[in-house]
Every structure is written in C-alpha cells, then in structure tokens.
Structure 1
Amino acid sequence: MRTTTAGDVTILLPDLDPDDLDPVTDLPDDDIRDGLVQDVTWRGRQIEDQSIRGCQITAADLGEITWEGGTLYGCEISRTDLSGAALTGVTIERCAITGSRFTGTRLIDVRLKDVLFDNCRFDYATLSRVSAAGSVAFTDCTLAHGTWSSCRLAGIALRTCDLSHLELDSCRLDGADLRGSRLHALAAPLDDLRGVVLTEDQLPDLTRMAVDALGIDVRTDSAADRNH
C-alpha cells in the first residue's frame, strides 16, 4: 500500500505496475481499465458516465474535454494537459496527479477522496461545489486567479501553493493546512478561512484581508495630529 503525507494529511496512492497495463490509444465508448495511456490526443472529446480505473496516463492532451458523470479511480496522471476541460459530477478517488495543467478548467460537483495534486497548474480554474470526502492535498501547485464557490474542502492540505488572486465564495476550509502558501491578494470572506492553519509569516496577508473585510480606515498620524 503506497501512501504519501502532506502536513497532517495522509493520502492513499495507486500502486501501478506498467508491465501489467495494456496500451490504449483510442478513446473507447465503454470503461477503460488497466490501461497505459501515453502521448494520446483526445482534445475536445466528450465522455459521459465512463469509468477510468487503474490507468497510467502520461503526456496526454486532454484539453477542452467534456466529462459528465463517471469515476477516475486508482490512476496516475503525469505531464498531462487538461486546460479548458469541463468535469461535471465526476468522482476522483485514489489518484496521484503530477506536473499537469488545469488552466481554465471547470470542476463542477466533483467529489475528491485520497487525491494528490503535485506541481500542477490550476490558474484561472473554476471549482464549484467541489467536495473532499477524504484526504486531499495540493502541493507546489499554482492556483492563482482561480474562482472557488460553494466548495466543501475541510481538512485538505494546500502546502507551498500560489493562492494569489484566488477568489473564494461560500467555501468551507475548516482545518485546511495553508502553510507555506502564497496568500497575496487572496480574496475570501473571513468565514471561509475559519480554522485554517497558517504560519506566523502569513499573518500580514491575513491582516490585510481582515482590514479589507471590515472596511477599516488605516491612517498614519501626522506630526500635527500628535501635537494636539
């Protein structure tokens, strides 16, 4: 059993042997199991209620795919382009996704459990009603300029990620570990950050958010003001 740890989050990872996998080049109409998917181009294809299980996907072009329903289970995905893709109602479980691109991707009603995103780009991505049903970690990821709304991501790890200009709306991040992440210009209601874990050097960014949220007028006293 393979596991990895990010902060206090332990994730169960897939344990695949490429020698046990069968090469897959064309996108079939039914489920894909135990497949070795390398250097394929499925850009703009549509997937509906399909399951992809026990597969290794490497250097694939899955940009602008539309995937509704179905499951991604026990897969390793690396150096794959999913930019502009739309995933709706998909369950992602026991997967390791590394060095992949989700720029402008839309995840809607997606359920995550035992998922690691490492060194991935989610810039300008939209997450709506995404939920963590188990351990989830983003490590060394770029999440800048994204929009997350109505997500339930309590207890996830967001370690050493770029969260600058990320916008949160009605999200639950209770206990989320944000240590080491860049929070510059993070836009979030204070309630969305209730219970998150930070380091001391991240407090100035949190203070700025609190000042903005409360409409506090911060002024510098002039010498004339101090003399009266």
Structure 2
Amino acid sequence: MGTRTIRRTSVTLPSLDEPGLYLSHVTSLEGGRGRVAEFHYGDADLRALDLADTHLIDGRISGLKTQRARLEKLRVDSVEFTGCDLSSLRWTDSKVTRAVFRDCKLMGAMLEDVTLDDVLFENCKLDYSTFTRVRAVGPLIFSQCSLRETMFDAADLSTAAFEGCDLRLAEFGGGTYRHLDLRGNDLSQLRGLASLKQVIIDHGQTPQLAEALAAELDVTYGEDLDDK
C-alpha cells in the first residue's frame, strides 16, 4: 500500500495493483444496488453525470469529461481519478476515503458537506471552486494545484497540507485551520487571514503574510501620500 508524504502529512493511496485484484471495464458508474466495485471507467464524454446514493470501491476513473456533474450521497473508497474534466461539478453530502485526483480540471467546483480522509489532489486545476463545510478527518494533500480565488468556508483543514500551489486570492472563511501546513507556498495574496490562526508556516513566509494583510486591510502608505 503506497503513500504520498508532504512533510508531516502522509496520505495512504488506493491499493489497485494488489495481487488478485482485477479491474473490469464498465460503461457506467451506476451499478446494481448502488455499488460499483473493482472497476475501470474511462474516456467517456458526457453531457451530464448524475450520481446519488452510490458506492464506488477499488477503481480507476480516467479521461472522464462532463459538461455538468452532480454527485450526492456518494461514497468513494480506494479510487483514482486521472485526467478528468468535471465542469460545473456540484458534490454534496458525501465521504471520500483513499482517493487520488491527478491532472484533473475541477474549475468552479462546489463541494459542500463532503468528508475527506486520505485524499490527494495533485496537479489539479481548482480555480474559482468553493469548499463549504468540507471536513478533512484524515490526511489531505494539495500538491502543485491551482487554487486561484478558491473559497474555503466553514471548512476543517486541520489535517491538510499544501505544497507548491497557486493560492492567489484564495480565501479562508470561518472554520478550523489549526495545524494546516502552508509551507512551500506563496501566501502574499491570501484572503481571510483572521481565520488562519495557528497554521504552520516557515519564517521566510512572514513577509508574505504581512503583504497579504496589508492588501486585505486596504492600507494607505504614507510615502504614497507624500508623493502626491
């Protein structure tokens, strides 16, 4: 069973190459009795994807493209998403465990009341997304992701780590961010700094936070007044 580690945070990855595990190709993610297991679903171009009360177990989803995706009351256990484009994604009231999202486009996604446990987002585009009441109950890593103007609202990211991410104008609303690891990122354009109490940063990032705070407070520098 593999892991992905960023400093103190280690995510347990899906175990899809275990001896005796064979992934069958499926043409739909809507299985009998709401369960799809040991599967490979890929290269589908859908107008819409609607899944509710479904359990996805031990599978790979690759090259999936949708114009609209609605996921509700979805359970995901040991699943890899690779090269997927889930436009206008709305994902609610779900739990995701041991999952990887790699090279995926989730721009403008809305995740609400989703629980994450051992989840890795790697090289994903999550710009303009909204994470509302998203809870990381286990390790969560964002690595080399674009999160421009992404909003975290009432989220619990106390077990999360960001590494080499584009966080320009990303905003953190009220929530739990104690021990959130923000080392290895440019923090100079973050918003919602008042919520980021007791996060983990490097000493060298302190000027970046000062720059972000000055922008958020919309301060005026005396030197600029003197030049007028």
Match 2:110 to one of 101, 106, 123: 106
The yes-or-no answer on 1:205 pairing with 2:208 is yes
Q: Normalising to structure 2: TM-score of the pair?
A: 0.89
Moved over 4 A (4+): 212-217
**Cα distance per residue 1:89-140 (max 9 Å; x no partner):** 1111001111111101100000000001110110011110000000110000
What is the percentage of aligned positions where both structures have the same residue?
A: 28
| Distance of 2:151 and 2:39 partners within structure 1 | 33
Name the SS of the counterpart of 1:14 in structure 2: coil
CA contact (8 A) 1:64 1:82 kept: yes
Match 1:136 to one of 140, 163, 187: 140
Name the SS of the counterpart of 2:3 in structure 1: strand
- Choose 209-218 or 30-39, whichever is displaced more: 209-218
Structure 1 position 215, deviation (Å): 6.7
Quickly say closer, same or farther: Cα 1:49–1:99, change in 2 above 3 A: same
* Ranges in structure 2 where 5+ consecutive residues have no aligned partner: none
CA contact (8 A) 2:137 2:159 kept: no
| Distance of 2:225 and 2:131 partners within structure 1 | 46
| Distance of 2:203 and 2:37 partners within structure 1 | 46
Q: Which residue in 1 is equivalent to 2:100? A: 96
Q: Which residue in 2 is equivalent to 1:25? A: 27
Name the SS of the counterpart of 2:208 in structure 1: helix
CA contact (8 A) 2:30 2:51 kept: no
Q: How many residues align?
A: 222
Match 1:125 to one of 122, 126, 129: 129
* Ranges in structure 1 where 5+ consecutive residues have no aligned partner: 224-228
| Distance of 1:39 and 1:208 partners within structure 2 | 44
Q: Which residue in 2 is equivalent to 1:15? A: 15
Structure 1 position 37, deviation (Å): 0.9
- Indicate the structure (1 or 2) with the bigger Cα radius of gyration: 1
Structure 1 position 184, deviation (Å): 3.5
| Distance of 2:219 and 2:108 partners within structure 1 | 34
Q: Normalising to structure 1: TM-score of the pair?
A: 0.89
Residue type matched to 1:198 in 2?
A: I
- Choose 23-32 or 86-95, whichever is displaced more: 23-32
